[in-house]
Chain A
């Protein structure tokens, strides 16, 4: 069977995972990797494989689930975004030393830009740090093919192997060839062997030199046997420039040179950046006077080059050290490196037009009808002077409502609150603290911080914004929902309230998130209890995410221009795409293009200007 379909890069990677005979796949969602695991389930259903496909509560859990399956002999994979690998760093660094059994693929998606992340870190560096091999795909089609080779390499050298797509590969859409599942036989058969499976220091002293030897052997293979990923495109005319490029930057520069019609630039494409095929790279450099390295986001290839005298890259500021290498960025670099003038464009007029028309990029906002907006409004109004730590998810956008003050990473809303509490306590002071965290994030990494806060008697309010989904990443399940990915699979729901109580929290109450008045009262009550008893309290704001498209009552609203005084209170603290400000008339109005008639904003205007539309009027 061979058929072509247009797939998202992530769907192509998932297809490769199923075709390669992976039997245990796990992940925690995170943009740009989120669509991979659901697609693994989809292909497994379509192809009728036995593959187990499951979300872990976080990336460390997902990695360790895959590790156990690999130790037992199964082909396994763990999927995450780059900051997810920070969470899974502990098992990753450790397992790198192991002689694993079943092929173990780690897919880590990077987010240069960044588009939806808190860093621009380069996971290829993590591969280098852990001393494991890394494949860096330049297109979705190549990513799918690399999955097979990564599995084979992983089993040949008994080592966990990384595939590092970046956002433009994950979210590229391309025609992809589909194939059948390869027939492999990997029965679960865990063989007890302490020297192999226990990370005792005595074993590490043997395993670390062995890991180094594996790196040497793999580098040799990358030099000779991986011509389909590492190859040179020679220039048609004598080369004025040689470009070493990896990942998506290779694809961008290739299209760019084609559109510029350049015949005097050659390219060395590198698909296996670690361990770098150094001889191949040195040979290319030796044949060029002018060499440029293009890769995202950190100088991983560049730093492995023994002699960089002739090399232009990040180390000598020819290539920007932050941000995405978009076609326009690379174009500018090319003209500079070739010492040629860049053609002028007519940008001045459009720049002026944008200024005159006051057109700026639209910032991300919570969806119209989003329950978080109501929760943040209640929290902000209940305790306006509170410190509001928050977390990673749609609700980070609570910054738009001035109800989010500090965000670090998954779970930090809880532990940061402990820090804020202690900092004030040291000075004999007190300040209200109301932290916000989502349901999925609470299960991901909120639990340890909460246990710690109960143990140490830290007074703060934790608001769990439970919209019954992992929303920001597109709507994945988690322990608080209980749904699973494969058809017919049934999970078991873990109640948020039960988990909170099990952490030792004695005061926990739940409110319908749209009920702003009750929400306000509960937050005040929760804080009073927390400070009086020196313990964290929890308010659960619950209402389903708009992405779930559940039926709910429609309450059409209008702004009464007589009552609206133009104070912008609703814009500043409610911040809904459906409620906007008319700069000419200095009044708020309902933008019917976006309003979903949730009716929550009726409670927002202090002057009663936002009103339900009468039935007769509607």
Chain B
């Protein structure tokens, strides 16, 4: 199982791979992944790679990812090439019109990609007072909702209970459910 998680520095994407890693470890699986720190992290494009199974390198090769989690639609478009044919993507969308681009549609079709847009900012504005830092758990919930990533929503809930700071556990669990429901 290979994941690529993309977004913009400051969006909290590292927490998502921590959750995925925690779940894999609790099942006794071997994990390896790669993160971005330092200057590249400051407000610029960021990418995390994460692999579960018998791998040595932390990097996912283009065309081999099973799942793409995108915190930003532009970063999703820039990184679709990491997905294998038939790979699944959950994409946080702020400008739905862009998805209608013909070339983009052709690409998605040609590679049989299974792309699930969610309007994360709208959901968080409506239900969480605009606290956009919850995007990471919203996307994880949505990933479970569309059956991507090979983990169940209960596993994500369990991991968050153990990893999130105690005072934020309830809010995080609420957002996981929001993400899960929005894609059902």
Task: Give residues in A with beta carbon < 8 Å to B.
Answer: 4-6, 8, 31-32, 34-35, 115-116, 138-140, 168, 171-175, 248, 250-252, 254-256, 259, 326-328, 331, 345-347, 349-350, 352-354, 356-357, 359, 361-367, 394, 396-397, 472-474, 577, 592-594
A361 and B44 contact, Cβ closer than 8 Å, known pairs A327-B61, A593-B121: yes
A259 and B31 contact, Cβ closer than 8 Å, known pairs A345-B81, A350-B104, A362-B45: no
Is B130 a contact of A592 with CB atoms below 8 Å? yes
Is A8 a contact of B35 with CB atoms below 8 Å? yes
Partner of A259, one of B40, B45, B61: B61
Is B77 a contact of A366 with CB atoms below 8 Å? no
Is B45 a contact of A175 with CB atoms below 8 Å? no
Contacting residues, chain B, for A31 (C-beta < 8 A): 37-39
Contacting residues, chain A, for B106 (C-beta < 8 A): 349
Contacting residues, chain B, for A174 (C-beta < 8 A): 31-33, 58
Which chain B residue has the least Cβ–Cβ distance from A326?
A: B59
Contacting residues, chain B, for A259 (C-beta < 8 A): 61, 64
B62 interface residue per 8 A CB criterion: yes
Cα of A328 to Cα of B60 in the assembled complex, Å: 9
Cα of A259 to Cα of B2 in the assembled complex, Å: 12
One of B17-25, B148-156, B165-173 contacting the partner? B17-25
Partner of B78, one of A173, A349, A361, A366: A361
Is A168 a contact of B34 with CB atoms below 8 Å? yes
Is A255 a contact of B56 with CB atoms below 8 Å? yes
Cα of A367 to Cα of B41 in the assembled complex, Å: 10
Contacting residues, chain B, for A354 (C-beta < 8 A): 77-78
B36 interface residue per 8 A CB criterion: yes
Is B111 a contact of A327 with CB atoms below 8 Å? no
Is B37 a contact of A32 with CB atoms below 8 Å? yes
Is B33 a contact of A173 with CB atoms below 8 Å? yes
Contacting residues, chain B, for A8 (C-beta < 8 A): 35
Which chain B residue has the least Cβ–Cβ distance from A473?
A: B38
Q: Is the interface of B mostly helix, strand, loop or mixed?
A: mixed
Is A357 a contact of B101 with CB atoms below 8 Å? yes
B9 interface residue per 8 A CB criterion: yes
Task: Give residues in B with beta carbon < 8 Å to A.
Answer: 8-10, 17-18, 21-22, 25, 30-45, 50, 55-64, 74-75, 77-78, 80-81, 94, 98, 101, 103-104, 106-107, 110-111, 121, 130, 132
Cα of A31 to Cα of B41 in the assembled complex, Å: 11
Partner of B32, one of A32, A173, A346: A173
A252 and B59 contact, Cβ closer than 8 Å, known pairs A359-B78, A474-B37: yes
Besides A365-B44, A367-B10, A397-B42, 6 other A-B contacts (C-beta < 8 A):
A5-B25, A116-B40, A168-B59, A175-B21, A252-B57, A357-B98
Is B58 a contact of A138 with CB atoms below 8 Å? no
A353 and B110 contact, Cβ closer than 8 Å, known pairs A115-B39, A327-B59: no
Partner of B36, one of A34, A115, A365, A396: A115
A115 and B61 contact, Cβ closer than 8 Å, known pairs A6-B21, A353-B103: no
Contacting residues, chain A, for B77 (C-beta < 8 A): 350, 353-354, 357, 359
**Nearest Cβ on chain B to A330's Cβ, whole angstroms:** 9
Which chain B residue has the least Cβ–Cβ distance from A592?
A: B130
Contacting residues, chain B, for A350 (C-beta < 8 A): 77, 80-81, 103-104, 107
Is B40 a contact of A172 with CB atoms below 8 Å? no
A-B contact pairs, 14 of them (CB 8 A): A173-B33, A173-B58, A175-B31, A252-B57, A255-B56, A331-B61, A349-B110, A353-B77, A356-B101, A359-B78, A364-B40, A365-B44, A397-B42, A472-B42
Which chain A residue has the least Cβ–Cβ distance from B109?
A: A349
Is A364 a contact of B9 with CB atoms below 8 Å? yes
Is B39 a contact of A116 with CB atoms below 8 Å? yes
Contacting residues, chain A, for B40 (C-beta < 8 A): 115-116, 364
Is A472 a contact of B35 with CB atoms below 8 Å? no
Cα of A246 to Cα of B51 in the assembled complex, Å: 21
**Nearest Cβ on chain B to A460's Cβ, whole angstroms:** 26
Cα of A345 to Cα of B111 in the assembled complex, Å: 9
**Nearest Cβ on chain A to B74's Cβ, whole angstroms:** 5
**Nearest Cβ on chain B to A112's Cβ, whole angstroms:** 12
Is A362 a contact of B55 with CB atoms below 8 Å? no
Partner of B61, one of A248, A256, A346, A397: A256
Cα of A252 to Cα of B107 in the assembled complex, Å: 27
Cα of A394 to Cα of B41 in the assembled complex, Å: 11
Cα of A265 to Cα of B29 in the assembled complex, Å: 28
**Nearest Cβ on chain B to A32's Cβ, whole angstroms:** 7
**Nearest Cβ on chain B to A332's Cβ, whole angstroms:** 11
Contacting residues, chain A, for B33 (C-beta < 8 A): 172-174
Cα of A138 to Cα of B32 in the assembled complex, Å: 12
Which chain A residue has the least Cβ–Cβ distance from B120?
A: A593
Cα of A577 to Cα of B57 in the assembled complex, Å: 34
Partner of B37, one of A4, A35, A349: A35
Contacting residues, chain B, for A138 (C-beta < 8 A): 56
**Nearest Cβ on chain A to B133's Cβ, whole angstroms:** 11
Tell me which of A6, A256, A474, A592 has the highest count of chain B C-beta atoms within 10 A of its own C-beta. Answer: A6
Contacting residues, chain A, for B60 (C-beta < 8 A): 327
Partner of A362, one of B43, B61, B63: B43
